Every structure is written in structure tokens, then in C-alpha cells.
Amino acid sequence: MFMRIICVLIGFLFVSCERDIEFTLLKTEPKLVVEATIENGQPPLVILSKSLPFFDTLRPSQLATSLITDATVTVSHNGVLYPLKGYRSTMAGQPLGYYYTVDSTQPALFLRGSLQQRYGLTIRWQGRTYQAQTTIPDLTRRIDSVFWRPAPPDNPPGKVALYVRATDRPGFGDYIRYYTQQNNGPFLPGLNSVYDDQVIDGTSYEVQVERGIIRDGQPEEGYNFFNRGDTVTLKLCNIDKATYDFWRTVEFNYSSIGNPFSSPTKVLSNVSGNALGYFGGYAAQFRTVIIPR
């Protein structure tokens, strides 16, 4: 009887201490968001937008108005400035986005990325200047072969796993990001798409390559496999340390969504002026495999 009274009193104590806590979120000015890349054999590509409130419900109209179309963007290489021109991307006459790249009408200023070269990015927008530097590294991770094997028996029939055999050049400090293309689809990064060479430095190794995905929610079961009949292209890119750190922290945060025990991680940007995003150089190589039905 005594223990029952104690339990009741403790219950009343917890109920009496319960209270609603409300937070008033501070309104902050939008920040510049930068997604800028340059790849060997390709011109620079820069997409600029304004950051959106974290707790807002995103709408297509809101995303459209977040795109920045009035910036002045230049890329520098070996002391030469290459002004970039803004273009609207459309589909069926409907606007999809806005990006900056080289001016195709100015052949003398047509810049393409090259291996082992350094590039600078300068963005002038609303009276402020933002800058970033990146390097397209050498190809230090060699693709020896790409092949497939049947998926484990507990998967749907017709699923296959993609594998790569590769060789890493001796010497720590090599970083990669990979993408896969399934048939005629876009190149998509894997759920965890960036890796260093701390374990495999200077070795030849074999590893499964998970299918690239669109990060629009939790991936479906078996997302990492391909189908019989697919034509799959692997895009393997050497990247510099700053590009690796950006995507490593982005992917860690993405995988931590909904996990109450995860630790918050700051996404590491290499753009000055307190901007968000990155400017990254990619040394890309490609291999294609046709999976029979």
C-alpha cells in the first residue's frame, strides 16, 4: 500500500512539472548558395540561389524565385579571367533553372578544365564579392574493370550488383567521388559517394558500386542494385580535399536526418563571404558495362 501511494505521488509530480515550451525562431537574411564545378574537358558550370528557411514548406514557386540571375561571375586560370554568361534552362517551354557557363559566342574565352590545374571563382552579387579556389587533380585512382554479379538471393529476381576493380596510386591524400548512369538517365551520385584512400592506399582492390540515387527521401529497399538488361556507366572522379570535405559533411547530415542520437555536423564550404556551397574540380573517367537480360 505504501509503495502504491509513493508511485501515485511521483506520477502527480511529473504531471505537475509538464509544461509547453515554445520557440520563436529568428528571421535571418538569405545567404548565397553556390554550386560550382569544373571538370576535365568540360566548361565551368555555376548555379546560384538564395538559402530558404529550414522549417518552411517548399513550393515550386519559392524554388523558382530563389534562383539568382543578376550576379557577375568569372572564372580565372593562369592569370586570365573568363566571364561567364547566364542561361535559362527550359523543358517544353517551361523554365527549369538558371546557370552560368562560358559564352559560346566568344571562342577566345571558351574555357575547358584540364588535369592538374587550379581555378579561381569570383561572384559579385548585391554589392558583395565571394571567392573560391579549386584544383582538378590528376587521375590517381585507375579503373581496371567494371563487372556485375547476381544480387544476393533475398532480393527480387533480375537484380544484379555492380563491382569495380581499381588501383590506387601510392601516397595518401587521394579523394574520389563517383556517379552511375542507368541506361539513358542522368549521372547520379551514390548515397555515400565520396571516399579517401586511408585504407586502400597504393593497392588494387575490388568493391561493390551502389546505384546512384536522387536524394528526395529515404531510399527504397534494394536501391543499390541494377537490373538485368541495364546499360550502366560508372563515372569515377578524383577531387581535392575541399570538395571531399564538402560532400562528406553534406552526406553525413543527410544520413542523420531523423536520427535523434546523431551529432550535428557543419557543412564545410570553400566559398568566402559566409556563403553556402562549394566550388569543386573533378578529374573524371568513365567505364560502361552492358548487363545481359
- Point out the domain boundary residue: 136, 167, 182: 136
DSSP letter string over 146-194? EEEEEPPTTSPTTEEEEEEEEEEPSSS--EEEEEEEETTS--EEEEEEE
Tell me which DSSP letter residue 108 carries: G
Residues 160 and 286 in one domain: yes
- pLDDT band for 89, please (50, 70, 90 cuts): confident
Residue 291: predicted pLDDT: 97
Residue 6 within a domain: no
Residues 251 and 220 in one domain: yes
Domain coverage including residue 257: 141-267+282-290
**Does residue 154 sit in the same domain as residue 238?**
yes
- Is the per-residue pLDDT at 8 higher than 90? no
At residue 149, the pLDDT reads 97
Q: How many domains are there within the chain? A: 2
| Last residue in a domain, options 136, 152, 178 | 136
Residue 292 scores a pLDDT above 90: yes
**Do 157 and 194 fall into the same domain?**
yes
Q: What is the pLDDT of residues 32-58, one digit of tens each?
A: 999 999 999 999 999 999 998 766 666
CATH number, position 69: 2.60.40
Least confident of 119-128, 206-215, 217-226, 259-268: 259-268
Q: Are residues 66 and 176 in the same domain?
A: no
Please indicate, yes or no, if residue 14 is contained in any of the structural domains: no
Residues 164 and 286 in one domain: yes
Whether residue 200 is contained in a domain is answered as yes
The alpha carbon dihedral of 219, 224, 228, 230 has a sign of: positive
Residues 204 and 229 in one domain: yes
Q: Does some domain include residue 242?
A: yes
Same domain assignment for residues 157 and 205: yes
Residue 176 lies in a domain: yes
Pair 179, 230 in one domain? yes
Q: Does 95 have pLDDT greater than 70?
A: no
Same domain assignment for residues 148 and 78: no
Q: Which of 136, 159, 184 is the last residue of a domain?
A: 136
- Residue 213 belongs to some domain of the structure: yes
| DSSP states of 32-81 | EEEEEEEEBTS--EEEEEE---TTSPP-HHHHHHHB--S-EEEEEETTEE
The CA–CA distances, whole Å, from 287 to 166, 176, 234 equal 12, 15, 5
DSSP 31: P
Is 16 a member of any domain?
Answer: no
**Are 94 and 52 in the same domain?**
yes
Q: Do residues 190 and 159 both lie within one domain?
A: yes
Reported as a single tens digit per residue, the pLDDT across 146-201 is: 999 999 988 888 999 999 999 999 999 999 999 999 999 999 999 999 999 999 99
pTM: 0.86
